[in-house]
Amino acid sequence: MDFHGTTILAVRHRGKVAVAGDGQVTMNNTVVKHTAKKVRRIYNDTIIVGFAGATADALNLSERLEGKLERYNGNLTRSAVELAKDWRTDKYLRRLEALMIAVDSSRMFLVSGNGDVIEPDEGVIGIGSGGVGAQAAAMALIKYSDLGARDIVEEAMKIASSLCVFTNDRITIEEL
């Protein structure tokens, strides 16, 4: 069975960071859950992670990132790079189907199984089926509104949920 869709959006704006995720889980063409929590805090509530992809794979990656954070004293950059290296080279991990956004008070990364650790130029990144729409909406809101980071992710996720059938409007938001 395939799990499809999710929208995760991270925005850094005016010294704050907010990460949002929708709550919809679909299996093939059926919605099986409306209130999943795809964004959560880890490492003493100092890091926020959000996931797109298979749920079990995403949770596995979250636990592995937290282990790296413990090993490298909360250094998100080093932990993300080490996780990406493991993910790319480990025979078991290579089969995990997920993308992860990880943020702390100063850094924001997209981490993938291809070995990518990408820090966006604009302080905005979206992943999942509605990620591009959410990211575009967030960038416009940053440029043309006076909203703060939390309100930007909330409004951008509402826009994404109105466009993407795999994204709903039951949004979880975490802030630093």
Instruction: Identify whether the C-beta of residue 4 lies closer than 8 Å to the C-beta of residue 161.
Output: no
Instruction: Identify whether the C-beta of residue 109 lies closer than 8 Å to the C-beta of residue 8.
Output: no
Task: Establish whether 6 is a catalytic residue.
Answer: yes
Task: Take residue 148 and report the two structure tokens written for it.
Answer: 């703060």
Q: Which of 141, 147, 176 lies closest to 20 in space, CA to CA?
A: 176
Q: Which of 6, 7, 26, 167 is catalytic?
A: 6
Cα distance between residue 48 and residue 105, in whole Å: 9
Q: Which of 151, 145, 128, 117 lies closest to 11 in space, CA to CA?
A: 151
Q: Which residues are catalytic?
A: 6
